[in-house]
Amino acid sequence: MGPTSPKRPLSPKGSADQLPSAKRVNHSNSPTPNASEISKATSSTTADGGGGPKKKSKQQQVMAKTTGVMDYLQKSLSRPELLGLYKDPDRGRFVCRSVLQQVPELSQQIVVRLSCTGGVFPLAMIYSWFRSNTTPSLSPTEAAASHGRMIKLLEHLYQWAIIVDKPSSSTKKQDPNTTAGDNTTTSANLVQLTPEFYQGFKNSLHSLDSSPWNPLTEKEMELIEEDAIKTSGKSNIKFPRMSNEDLERYTQAQWDAVLHYLVGTGNYADPHPAVAHFLLQTNLMQPDPDFKGKNTDDAPLVITQKGYDFMLQDNAQQVWHFIVQYMASMAENLSNDPAKAQLLKREALLVLICLSFARFGECYSGAGLTKEGRTIIKDLSLFGLLYTKKVGKTFIFYPTRIAMQLVGLEGTSNKAGGGGGMWSWSSKALENALAHPRPHDSSHLAIIVQTNFQLCAYTTSELHVSMLGLFCDVHTIRRLPNVIFMTISRDSIKGAFNLGIQAQQILRFLEKHAHPKLRESGTDPLPANVVDQIFLWDRERHRIRWNQVFNHQPIMPGEFQAVQKYAMELGAHGWSSEARNMIMIKYSFVDRIQNFVQKWRAKQASG
Partner 1 sequence: MNDANSSVDEYSIAKKLTLRAAQREAALTSITSGISSGGDEGVIGADFSNLTLKPDHIQRPCWTCPDGHIYLEAFHDLYLQAYDFLVAIAEPVARPEFVHQYKLTPYSLYAAVATNIETESIINVLERLSKNALPIQVKKFVRDCTSKYGKARLVLKHNKFYVESEYPMVLRELLRDPTIAQARIQEDVENVDEHGFITNAKAEEMKENLEMLREPDEDSDDDDDGDNQDHEQKQKKPTTVVSFQVDGAKVENVKRQAIELDYPLMEEYDFRNDTMNPNVPLFDLKPITRIRRYQERSLAKMFGNGRARSGIIVLPCGAGKTLTGVTAAQTIKKSCVCLATNGVSVLQWKYQFQKWTNIPDDRISVFTSDQKENLHPDACVLITTYTMISYSGKRSDQSQRVMDQITGREWGILLMDEVHVVPAKMFRKVIGSVKAHTRLGLTATLVREDDLISDLNFLIGPKLYEANWMDLTAQGYLANVQCVEVWCPMTGSFMKEYLQASNARLKQLLYVMNPNKLRAVEFLVRFHEERGDKIIVFSDLVYSLKLYAEMLKRPLIYGETPERERQAILGTFRATDALRTICISKVGDTSIDLPEANVIVQVSSHFGSRRQEAQRLGRILRPKSYTQQDGSNRSSFNAFFYTLVSADTQEMFYSAKRQQYLIDQGYTFKIVTNLCEKASEEAVKHNYAYSSPEDDRKLLRTVLTSETDLEKEQKSEDAAIRKNNPDGAGLADAGTKRTAGMTMSQVSGGGGLRYREITSSKKHPLFRKRQRR
* Contact status: 485 vs partner 1 (CB under 8 A): yes
Closer residue to partner 1 (CB): 299 or 456? 456
Smallest gap from residue 482 Cβ to partner 1 (A): 6
Instruction: Kindly identify the residues of this chain, within the stretch 535-554, that bind partner 1 according to CB under 8 A.
Output: 536
* Contact status: 478 vs partner 1 (CB under 8 A): yes
Closer residue to partner 1 (CB): 110 or 472? 472
Smallest gap from residue 442 Cβ to partner 1 (A): 12
Closer residue to partner 1 (CB): 32 or 159? 32
Q: Which of 13, 34, 571, 591 binds partner 1 (CB under 8 A)?
A: 34
* Contact status: 532 vs partner 1 (CB under 8 A): yes
Non-local CB neighbours of 300 within 8 Å, separated by 6+ positions: 264, 287, 288, 291
Exposure of 53 by Cβ count < 10 A (0-12 exposed, 13-18 middle, 19+ buried)? exposed
Identity (one letter) of the amino acid at 405? Q
Interatomic CA distance for residues 123 and 151, integer angstroms: 10
Closer residue to partner 1 (CB): 343 or 434? 434
* Contact status: 421 vs partner 1 (CB under 8 A): no
* Contact status: 116 vs partner 1 (CB under 8 A): no
The DSSP 8-state label assigned to residue 513 in this structure reads T
* Contact status: 481 vs partner 1 (CB under 8 A): yes
DSSP string, 102-160: HS-HHHHHHHHHHHHTTTEEEHHHHHHHHHHHS-SS--HHHHHHHHHHHHHHHHHHHHT
Exposure of 282 by Cβ count < 10 A (0-12 exposed, 13-18 middle, 19+ buried)? buried
Smallest gap from residue 294 Cβ to partner 1 (A): 23
- Interacting span for partner 1 (CB under 8 A) from 76-84, 125-133, 216-224, 476-484: 476-484
Smallest gap from residue 449 Cβ to partner 1 (A): 9
Number of residues that bind partner 1 (CB under 8 A): 41
Residues 233-271 as b/e (b if ≥16 CB within 10 A, e otherwise) read eeeebebeebeeeebbebbbebbbbbbbbbbbbeebeeb
Closer residue to partner 1 (CB): 3 or 557? 3
* Contact status: 267 vs partner 1 (CB under 8 A): no
* Contact status: 266 vs partner 1 (CB under 8 A): no
Closer residue to partner 1 (CB): 88 or 256? 256
Q: Is the dihedral of CA 72, 76, 81, 82 positive or negative?
A: positive
Q: Which of 416, 480, 568, 602 binds partner 1 (CB under 8 A)?
A: 480
Angle among Cα 426, 430, 434 to the nearest 5 degrees reads 165
> By rule CB under 8 A, what string of x and - marks binding of each residue 430-469 to partner 1?
----xx-x----------x-xxxxx-x---x---------
Q: Which whole-number Å values give the CA distances from 430 to 253, 297, 439, 460, in the listed order? A: 22, 42, 11, 11
Closer residue to partner 1 (CB): 11 or 533? 533
Closer residue to partner 1 (CB): 348 or 457? 457
* Contact status: 39 vs partner 1 (CB under 8 A): no
* Contact status: 349 vs partner 1 (CB under 8 A): no
Long-range contacts at 57-63 (CB < 8 A, ≥ 24 apart): 59/328, 60/328, 63/324, 63/327, 63/328
Instruction: Kindly identify the residues of this chain, within the stretch 210-239, that bind partner 1 according to CB under 8 A.
Output: none
Q: Which of 174, 237, 527, 570 binds partner 1 (CB under 8 A)?
A: 527
* Contact status: 579 vs partner 1 (CB under 8 A): no
* Contact status: 492 vs partner 1 (CB under 8 A): no
Closer residue to partner 1 (CB): 251 or 460? 460
- Interacting span for partner 1 (CB under 8 A) from 32-40, 216-224, 358-366, 390-398: 32-40
Instruction: Kindly identify the residues of this chain, within the stretch 194-213, that bind partner 1 according to CB under 8 A.
Output: none
Q: Which of 299, 477, 570, 590 binds partner 1 (CB under 8 A)?
A: 477
* Contact status: 343 vs partner 1 (CB under 8 A): no
Q: Which of 11, 37, 237, 594 binds partner 1 (CB under 8 A)?
A: 37
Contact 114, 193 (CB under 8 A): yes
Contact 345, 326 (CB under 8 A): no
* Contact status: 10 vs partner 1 (CB under 8 A): no
Residues 498-537 as b/e (b if ≥16 CB within 10 A, e otherwise) read bbbbbbebbbebbbbbbbbebeeeeeebbbeebbebbeeb
Interatomic CA distance for residues 561 and 604, integer angstroms: 13
Interatomic CA distance for residues 195 and 164, integer angstroms: 8
Residues 569-594 as b/e (b if ≥16 CB within 10 A, e otherwise) read eeebbbbbeeeeebbbbbbebbeebe
Contact 277, 20 (CB under 8 A): no
431 CB neighbour count, 10 Å cutoff: 14
* Contact status: 417 vs partner 1 (CB under 8 A): no
Smallest gap from residue 33 Cβ to partner 1 (A): 5
Smallest gap from residue 494 Cβ to partner 1 (A): 15
Closer residue to partner 1 (CB): 93 or 515? 515
Q: Which of 10, 18, 33, 291 binds partner 1 (CB under 8 A)?
A: 33
Taking the chain, what is the end-to-end CA distance rounded to the nearest angstrom? 44
85 CB neighbour count, 10 Å cutoff: 24
Q: Dihedrals φ, ψ of 445, to 5°?
A: -150, 130
Q: Which of 529, 588, 595, 598 binds partner 1 (CB under 8 A)?
A: 529
3 state SS of 234: coil
Q: Which residues bind partner 1 (CB under 8 A)?
A: 1-5, 31, 33-34, 37, 434-435, 437, 448, 450-454, 456, 460, 474-483, 485-486, 515, 517-518, 527-529, 532-533, 536
